Amino acid sequence: MEDRELYRRILGIENPWHVASVDLRLTSKEVHIYLAHEDLPTWPCAECATPSKLYDHQPERQWRHLDTCQYRTILHAEPPRSQCPTHGVRVVKLPWAEPSSRFTALLESLAIVWLKAASQKAVAEQLGLSWDEIHGIDDGHIPGQSCRTDKSSELLRPSPGSGRPARTSAPASRTHPPSGSGREGFP
Ligand SMILES: [Zn+2]
C-alpha cells in the first residue's frame, strides 16, 4: 500500500480531503503529513452549514496527532475560508480538529480520557506534550461542557490580578466569568 493511502486510512481522512504527501524524518522520529483538498467552489459555513463561496485559505497550520508507529505525527494543511451571506468570512470546519486547537480531535480525546485516570504530568509525559499543552487541553474540556468554544486556554488560566480583561474577542458571557478564579470549584 502506498504511504499516502496508508496514512489516509490511519488518520481517517475523507473526501474532499486527501493526503498530498508524507515526509518521514527518520532522524527526528517525526512524520509530517500534508493534507490537501479538492477544488470545491463552495464549502459549508462553519456556523450555519450553508454552502458558501470559497473566499481564501489561511496560511499553513499544523496539528499534532497521536504518534503513529512511535513517530511523532504532525498534520499540515491550509484551512479554507468560506464567505457566508449571513456570517461572513469563516474558516471551514476541519474534520480532524476543533477550531483553534493545535492538536487533532483524536489526540485531545485520548488525553481527556487519560486525564480522568492519571495526572497531567503523567499524561503529558506519555503523549510527549509540554506542561502548557496538556494544561491547555485539560482546561479546554471542563466536565459538563459539551463542546469547546473558540476561546483560547489563556482565558481560563488563573491570573494573578482579578478582572483582567479577556485578550481575545470571545465575549465574556459565553464562557466562565473572567474573575481570576481559574479552575477553583472544578473537580
Ligand atoms: Zn453561515
DSSP letter (8 states) at residue 181: -
Give percent of the chain with pLDDT exceeding 70: 75
**Is the pLDDT confidence value at 58 over 90?**
yes
CA of 137 to the centre of ligand 1 (A): 28
pLDDT at 84: 97
CA of 93 to the centre of ligand 1 (A): 12
CA of 91 to the centre of ligand 1 (A): 11
**Is the pLDDT confidence value at 150 over 50?**
no
Q: What is the pTM of this model?
A: 0.69
Domain boundaries, the chain: 99-148
CA of 90 to the centre of ligand 1 (A): 8
How confident is the prediction for the chain on average, in pLDDT?
80
- Beta strand 80-84 pairing with 88-91: antiparallel
pLDDT at 86: 97
pLDDT at 59: 97
CA of 186 to the centre of ligand 1 (A): 34
Which range, of 7-16, 19-28, 41-50, 143-152, averages the lowest pLDDT?
A: 143-152
* Cβ atoms 37, 13 nearer than 8 A: no
pLDDT interval class at 141 (50, 70, 90): low
* Cβ atoms 140, 148 nearer than 8 A: yes
CA of 41 to the centre of ligand 1 (A): 16
Which of 53-83 are b and which e, b meaning 16 or more Cβ less than 10 Å from the residue's Cβ?
A: eebeeeeebebbbbeeeeebbbbbbebbbbb
CA of 96 to the centre of ligand 1 (A): 21
**Is the pLDDT confidence value at 17 over 70?**
yes
pLDDT at 175: 44
CA of 135 to the centre of ligand 1 (A): 32
**Is the pLDDT confidence value at 156 over 50?**
no
What are the tens digits of pLDDT across the range 108-133?
989 999 999 999 999 999 898 999 99
CA of 42 to the centre of ligand 1 (A): 12
